[in-house]
Amino acid sequence: MAKKVKKQSNNEEKELLEKEAVQKAGQPKSDNEELSEAEMLLKIKEEMYSEKTEEEEEVEEVPDTAFTKTKKKIGFFFDYYKWFIIIPAIVIVIAVVMITSYLSESKDRALELSIMNAAFEIPEIFHAVENDYVEYTGNEIDAKDIRIEYNFRYPNTDAGVVDFSQDEAVSSQKFNAMVIAGRVDVAITNTWVINAFSATDSTLDLREIYDEDFLKRYEEKIYYVKDSNGDKIPVAFYIDAPVIVDAYEDDALPLAVSFDTSKHREETARFMKWLLEDAKNVGVEE
């Protein structure tokens, strides 16, 4: 009977231990219990995510005032419509520049002067024309009424030059177009340029703007060519004014010539007369 009671007691103790083990397995481990490496990493990730969520929740929202609402609307407008504003603005700027340039170029001037084949640019020429010549006219015209084109290059065809540089080709075409359009009243240039245009009867006969007495007075400075009929015609003057000569390297004097397309022949005649009579004293110290 005693053995039976003892066996029953052992069975009850075993059942009690099993129940405690099951309950303990269902409960979370205490801080003192060891965690596996995988469990430790999972716990760290959960804590980091929890902290980040709390920080996001703690961000203070800016109250919507009238100023902030207006600022948001303006920001949205520019973000959405910026290209609709920028592109038309660029087009308008380009159009204004082109129109201004066109009006400046198309404006009729009192005198159109071209300087061709000069060795280098000499500011004294611009100053002399825009100041001394204007004073010579009695201030009848203004410096703004004179257009000066400077950097023209024209190859020396008289010397047998056949191959033109790109700069010479572009420059020659531009000059030819300007002569045809009547945009050259006087050109300061070399003999071969005059010969090239005289071959097509494009140069102006000086007898059309000067009387016989004037031409006789400056006979030694006249440059003659033959027209298509073989007749000798005065078309240009040799210019010895230092302010002009200094712009040319070689010993040959530059010449002043006009063209039959010139639209300002009275001013052309006055300017050439100034080159012959007064320009020779410009910049010369007495």
- Give the pLDDT band (50/70/90) at residue 76: low
More confident residue, 86 or 30: 86
Given the structure tokens 């040959």, which residue do they identify?
A: 252
Assigned domain for 86 exists: no
Assigned domain for 211 exists: yes
Assigned domain for 266 exists: yes
* Contact present, 253 and 272 (Cβ < 8 Å): no
Assigned domain for 204 exists: yes
Burial grade of 111 (CB within 10 A; 0-12, 13-18, 19 or more): buried
pLDDT at 99: 45
- The share of the chain scoring above pLDDT 90, in percent, equals 31
- Give the pLDDT band (50/70/90) at residue 269: very high
Instruction: List, for residues 171-219, the tens digit of each pLDDT value.
Output: 888 888 999 999 999 999 999 899 989 888 899 999 999 999 999 999 9
Question: How many domains does the chain divide into?
Answer: 1
Assigned domain for 38 exists: no
Q: What is the CATH number of the domain that holds 219?
A: 3.40.190.10
Assigned domain for 68 exists: no
Assigned domain for 174 exists: yes
Q: Domain residues for 251?
A: 109-281
Summarize the confidence of residues 88-93 as an average pLDDT: 61
CA distances from 263 to 69, 81, 183, 205 (A): 65, 51, 8, 14
Assigned domain for 6 exists: no
- The share of the chain scoring above pLDDT 70, in percent, equals 57
